[in-house]
Amino acid sequence: MTTPATAHHPEPGRTAGLSRLTAFARSPEARPALLGFLGACLISLGGLGAGSTRLHDPLLESLHLSWLRFGHGLVVSSILLWGGVALMLFAWLFLGRRVIDRSATEYTMVATTGFWLAPLLLSAPVFSRDTYSYLAQGALLRDGFDPYVVGPVENVNSLLDNVSPIWTTTTAPYGPAFILIAKFVTLIVGEDVVAGTMLLRLCMLPGLILLIWAAPRVARTLGANGAVALWICVLNPLVIIHLMGGVHNEMLMVGLMMAAIALTLGDRPAWGVSLIALAVAVKATAGIALPFMVWMWMHRMRARRPMGHVRAFALATAASAAIFVAVFAVVSLLAGVGLGWLTALAGSVKIINWLTVPTAVANLVNAVGGLLLPVNFYAVLEVTRIVGIGIIAVALPLLWWRFRHDDREAMTGIALAMLVVVLFVPAALPWYYTWPLAILSALAQSRPAIAVIAGFSTWIMVIFKPDGSHGMYSWIHVLLATACAVGAWWWLARGRATEPAGSATPV
């Protein structure tokens, strides 16, 4: 039997791809990629001491590097880490100038992502300790507990040592798909936190790959620029450093959500709804997109054959509901859990920072009103949070009805709905803003919009500390973050106006 000649065809393709990457690395186009790579290396080194490190780290002790976590060693680690963040931010903004003049290509964005991500795959968690909670929740399911009924504290093991105290008694607020992934990780690594962190981060990679695949497709469908979309929602430091460096399940959720939208816009709405069900099975927030995707499916039904609005809407709704329930039921059955995770979504009330309007208002009332009258901060906070939930409850159906006429309107509705949720929920964290940014990447591509996104992303990036805490109660830290944000905005907003978004053909 002879071997078909086609068996050797993939090799030239791989060689061509490697040659193209090598040529890119040697070209002036790669300067932001190489600068960001250096920054990522510094973040990985600094993260050993100044990141979201374990309370007891035998690995560092065995390498005689435990000094990096204390005293002068911690100062050195912090300088390295913040220096790396600064380099990555500068590289991102430098690349942003080329995004604005439309000289950057999609290949440049994808290759740059690889350069920036590679060192972070080996880093300790940075800017968040959530990965330790993920592992502990996965161990609950592994050991026969229901993570939607009990918190990690009920399953005594060494993983508990690194879980933030406020989360040890909190039930899991994540969907069955993610809990199943966390169980899979702990089945393989046991209580090995280092191996668990690395494997969990690798489990986030499919989300990033889906986002890289979907974002430019959605942008092109709406007449926008694919490279700009990748710059906004993939190369953004909130994604590279927070989602991947910090190991957050938002990476899976956002990637699945954008892939679902891309498939729906590409006339495969059934597959789109299937993926949005998987995204919700990771984190409930993705469900915000589903009602707007029903409009997209309805438009496609009416484009294929004549039918009234009511009939098309009824068919699209029924099909979406049936597919969603079927997929979600299968995932829940595989995980062996029910819907108890929905009751744990309120666990975020334990977080108090200035990133949401209700909490910011309560803090301002406490700070200003407290100068004149006694103020019970927590009583005020409870009221402002109830008002915030009310605003969300009213705004979401109004946005769904208002933005229904075409695909661009539906995308705009998803973006605005997610912004409303992030701004008015009881508490938010930096990586929450990656939800609306992914949608806005196809909509907000003018120079002013890009400059605002750069400024805001820089502020969020700088205001939080590498150990997962924040500096919003330190005026010096707030002023520093604000100065960096203004600088980022000015860097991209200055100069002559550029051609309209989408006028250049993405490469």
What does the pLDDT look like over 79-90, one tens digit per residue?
Answer: 999 999 999 999
Q: Return the pLDDT at 268.
A: 96
| Residue 231 belongs to some domain of the structure | yes
As a whole number of angstroms, the distance between CA 288 and CA 283 comes to 11
| Residue 14 belongs to some domain of the structure | no
Over residues 318-325, mean pLDDT? 96
Q: pLDDT tens, 305-319? A: 888 889 999 999 999
Q: Same structural domain for residues 294 and 198?
A: yes
pLDDT for residue 290 is more than 90: yes
Query: Where do runs of H (alpha helix) occur along 336-433?
Result: 357-364, 377-402, 407-424
Q: Same structural domain for residues 111 and 234?
A: no
Q: Same structural domain for residues 185 and 41?
A: no
Q: Same structural domain for residues 187 and 321?
A: yes
Q: Same structural domain for residues 185 and 85?
A: no
| Residue 329 belongs to some domain of the structure | yes
Q: In this predicted structure, which of 12-21, 117-126, 233-242, 391-400 has the lowest mean pLDDT?
A: 12-21
pTM for this one?
A: 0.91
pLDDT for residue 21 is more than 50: yes
| Residue 278 belongs to some domain of the structure | yes
DSSP strand E in 110-153: where? none
Among 318, 346, 374, the domain-final residue is 346
Q: Name the pLDDT band for 295 (thresholds 50, 70, 90).
A: very high
Q: Is the dihedral of CA 82, 87, 88, 93 positive or negative?
A: positive
Q: Same structural domain for residues 207 and 286?
A: yes
Q: How many CB atoms lie within 10 A of CB 442?
A: 34
Q: Return the pLDDT at 470.
A: 82
Over residues 37-65, mean pLDDT? 80
Q: Same structural domain for residues 113 and 150?
A: no
Q: Same structural domain for residues 159 and 177?
A: yes
Q: pLDDT tens, 478-498? A: 999 999 999 999 999 985 544
Of residues 65 and 171, more confidently modeled: 171
Q: Return the pLDDT at 8.
A: 45
Q: Same structural domain for residues 155 and 173?
A: yes
Q: What is the DSSP string of 418-485?
A: HHHHHHHSS---GGGGHHHHHHHTTT--SHHHHHHHHHHHHHHHHHB-TTS-B-TT-HHHHHHHHHHH
Q: Same structural domain for residues 334 and 186?
A: yes
- Counted domains in the chain: 2
Q: Same structural domain for residues 148 and 74?
A: no
Note down the domain range covering 150.
128-346
Q: Same structural domain for residues 119 and 191?
A: no
Q: Return the pLDDT at 502.
A: 39
